[in-house]
Structure 1
Amino acid sequence: MYNKDVVITGSGPAGVLLGYLLAKSGVDVLVIEKNSSLKRDFRGETIAPGSVHLLKKLGLLDKISSDEYLKVQQMVMYDKEEKLLHIDFKKFEHEQKYGIDIPQPTILNAILKEAEEFENFMYLKDTSCIELIKNSSEQVTGIRCKRGDVIFEVRSRLVVGADGRFSTIRKLSCLGYEKKEYSRDLVWFKVPKPKGWQEANIIKVDRNDHLIILPTYPDLLRIGTYIENDGISTTRSIGLEAFKEKVISLEPRLRETINDNIHDWKQTTLLKIFSTHVPKWSRDGLILIGDAAHTMSPVLGQGVNIAMQDAVELAPYIIKELQFQKEKTSPLKSEIFDEFEKLRKKSVAFVSKFQEEQEQSLAAKTDIECEERRIKMKLLNNHPLKYKMMSKVQYGSVIED
């Protein structure tokens, strides 16, 4: 059995970042990870300017060589070949003028390396939470874990569920949540970047078909295209060549690199699209953050950024309460997180609403819907306050820093 101030489940960007911040402030913290490896394909590789700013501010980006990531400074949306929207990050008022594309293991290992410098930080992989431990007052006092064939307990004053969109802690917490299924799923794959390719995050639409094309470290493109919800069996039955032709029809310049490099469905990854809303993120002794608290649509890839900002903003509340109650061993009360939840929910709600509006726009099918989308994007592109409006998405809660 372990006794810790805080146990965090999940070693994604939110979990390891929170663990590092707590350990740095003297909190005795354990981070557990159910997987044996930090390898994560197609997950959280794009870090928006706001989260890059946070990593810089914390001195963590300096721990990663600049040749281990790509700088992303533009976002462009096309309807076929017509440019609808162009965002140049250099024109934002914030001092941070670019986002980055970075393999998730690179950033996670960099943060873990810094965290492990502290004796009060502990990390266990291949470890799953199987049960919450509660006292007679139904307060959470820790978790029961399984590592291989070994079952053990971790007693703590706070359990943090940072275990992602399929969160075990969310399920065990009994906090209740609403899940919204979308009409489409997303299929991702990677190919080598064609010579002379524009260094920008690109969205290409043709009615309700569209591609997300992202420059990916070191010299690749990460490409996502939508299929009908639960339609992967149908898509595969039609055949890989038909799937490839659909993608190529949206962006003909990808023909050679796709045909030369995609030969098997195993080279693709399916991402189920849904969102979850947890009305209350905490109870005595437990709190949810990141996708566990608010699973986001993949549109604009903001899930990892919101999660990292959750971690940075939650840490001071935990640290302050543990220092204030230094001699106590009781679970941290849910009420101490009321202010944190209120502030974060406001930021999350804005981004979530924006994403849902974009998802609806991208799903346009009729001539009228497509023309409305075209006009709306053109108006946004020409709006004098375009960068002020978009800054809330790209910078989130660090916008006023």
Structure 2
Amino acid sequence: MYDKDVVIVGSGPGGALLGFLLAKSGVDVLVIEKSASLKRDFRGETIAPGSVHILKRLGILDKIPSDAYLKVQQLIMYDKDDQLLNIDFHNFEHEQKYGIDIPQPTILNTILNEASQYKNFLYLNDTSCVDLIENSSGEVTGIKCKKGSESFEVKCRLVVGADGRFSTIRKLSRLNFKKEGYQRDLVWLKVPKPQGWVDANIIKVDRDDHLIILPTYPDLLRIGTYVEKDGLSAARTLGLEHFKQRVIAIEPKLEDTINEHIKDWKDTTFLEIFSTHVPKWSRDGLILIGDAAHTLSPVLGQGVNVAMQDAVELAPYIEKALQSQKEEDFSLKSEAFIEFEEKRQKNVSFVAKFQEEQEKRLGARTDEECNERKTSMKLIDSNPLKYRMMSPVQYGIALEI
């Protein structure tokens, strides 16, 4: 049995960062992670400029060698070889002029190492939450855990569900949520970067087929392409060569590296695309953040950034609630987080709507839809206010700090 002020379930970027922030402020905090390792495949390697600014401000980025990540300074969109949009991060008004691509174990280990300097911080890996503990009033007062063959309980004033898109805490919380699937799912592959390739996030479309091409540390490309919803088995029936030729047809410059390095379906990773909307993120003794509260489309890779922003925004609300807690109360009340939820839901809704609009554009099928996409993106590109329009997506709360 442990007694803690706060237990955070999930040590992704949002959960780990919140644990660090709370430990730094003197809160007695436990972070648990069901995986034995921090190794992540195709998860959250792209950190937007706004989140890089936050990591700098917190002194975390300074702890990472500059050769342990790539700087990303452009977002470019093409229709075949016709450039539709070019966003150069140097032209944003914010002082932070680049995003980064960094292996998730690197960033997580750095955050957790910084947090471990505080005696009031505890991290347990290979540990799963199997149930919530509630009192007679229905308030959450802790969790039941399992680590290997050992079962134990943790009593706490607040449980934070930061355990991702398939959140156990969300399921156990009895909070209402709505899950919506998209028309397509995503298949990722990773190959060495061809010589002379620009370090930019690239979207390349050909009618309703398209590639997301991301520079990936140390000298790789992470390539995402779509299959119809539940269409992976159909793609496999057509064969790996057919799948590879689809990718190569959109970007012929990738032909050699894909043919050399993609030899088996095991060289690809499947990602189901869906969104999850939780109208209310908290109840007494419990709150959700990140993908657990708001699973987003992978378009423009905003899930990690929004989760980190959740953590930065939530930490002071938890600190204040603990300090002002009535002596007769144990669990932190949901009402302590009303302002936080309203503020964050406004920002998350903006990002989610933006991503959904891009998803619809990427799914254009008819000539009319494709022409409308081309026209609208070129209009955005020529708009003198395009950097102001894109700032909330690339910088989020960094615009306020």
TM-score interval, smaller chain? over 0.9
1:209 aligned partner: 209
2:273 aligned partner: 273
1:90 aligned partner: 90
1:390 aligned partner: 390
Q: If the length of structure 1 is used for normalisation, what is the TM-score?
A: 0.99
Cα separation, 1, equivalents of 2:51 and 2:199: 20
Cα separation, 2, equivalents of 1:183 and 1:43: 21
1:36 aligns with 2:36: yes
1:1-400 equivalent positions in 2, closer than 5 A: 1-325=1-325, 330-400=330-400
Cα separation, 2, equivalents of 1:216 and 1:110: 19
Q: If the length of structure 2 is used for normalisation, what is the TM-score?
A: 0.99
- Look up the SS of the partner of 1:145 in the other structure: strand
Contact 2:19 2:30 in 1 (8 A): yes
Output the amino acid matched with 1:151.
S
Cα separation, 1, equivalents of 2:235 and 2:145: 39
Unaligned runs of 5+ in 2: none
Cα separation, 1, equivalents of 2:328 and 2:151: 27
Cα separation, 2, equivalents of 1:27 and 1:350: 32
Cα separation, 2, equivalents of 1:216 and 1:327: 51
Contact 2:160 2:287 in 1 (8 A): yes
Q: Residue 329 of structure 1: CA displacement?
A: 5.8
Contact 1:34 1:127 in 2 (8 A): yes
Cα separation, 2, equivalents of 1:50 and 1:142: 34
- Look up the SS of the partner of 1:194 in the other structure: coil
Cα separation, 2, equivalents of 1:26 and 1:326: 19
Contact 2:23 2:121 in 1 (8 A): yes
Output the amino acid matched with 1:149.
S
Structure-2 change in CA distance of 1:347 and 1:193 (3 Å):
same
Structure-2 change in CA distance of 1:327 and 1:24 (3 Å):
farther
- CA deviation map 1:258-280 (0-9, x unaligned): 00111011110000000000000
Cα separation, 2, equivalents of 1:215 and 1:98: 13
Cα separation, 1, equivalents of 2:113 and 2:323: 25
Cα separation, 2, equivalents of 1:399 and 1:372: 31
Cα separation, 1, equivalents of 2:280 and 2:325: 24
Q: Residue 327 of structure 1: CA displacement?
A: 5.5
Cα separation, 1, equivalents of 2:88 and 2:137: 54
Contact 2:75 2:201 in 1 (8 A): yes
Between the aligned residues of both structures, percent identity stands at 73
- CA deviation map 1:145-168 (0-9, x unaligned): 111111110000000000000000
Q: Residue 199 of structure 1: CA displacement?
A: 1.4
Cα separation, 1, equivalents of 2:328 and 2:63: 36
- CA deviation map 1:155-190 (0-9, x unaligned): 000000000000000000001101110000000010
Contact 2:325 2:332 in 1 (8 A): no
* Paired residues, number: 401
Cα separation, 1, equivalents of 2:42 and 2:328: 43
Output the amino acid matched with 1:12.
G
- Look up the SS of the partner of 1:199 in the other structure: coil
Q: Residue 382 of structure 1: CA displacement?
A: 0.3
Larger mean Cα displacement after TM superposition, 115-124 or 391-400: 391-400
Q: Residue 324 of structure 1: CA displacement?
A: 2.5
Q: Residue 400 of structure 1: CA displacement?
A: 2.7
Cα separation, 1, equivalents of 2:172 and 2:325: 27
Q: Residue 384 of structure 1: CA displacement?
A: 1.0
Output the amino acid matched with 1:66.
S
Output the amino acid matched with 2:79.
D
Q: Residue 325 of structure 1: CA displacement?
A: 2.9
Q: Residue 198 of structure 1: CA displacement?
A: 1.3
- Look up the SS of the partner of 1:269 in the other structure: strand
Cα separation, 2, equivalents of 1:38 and 1:326: 38
Q: Residue 98 of structure 1: CA displacement?
A: 0.3
Contact 1:157 1:329 in 2 (8 A): no
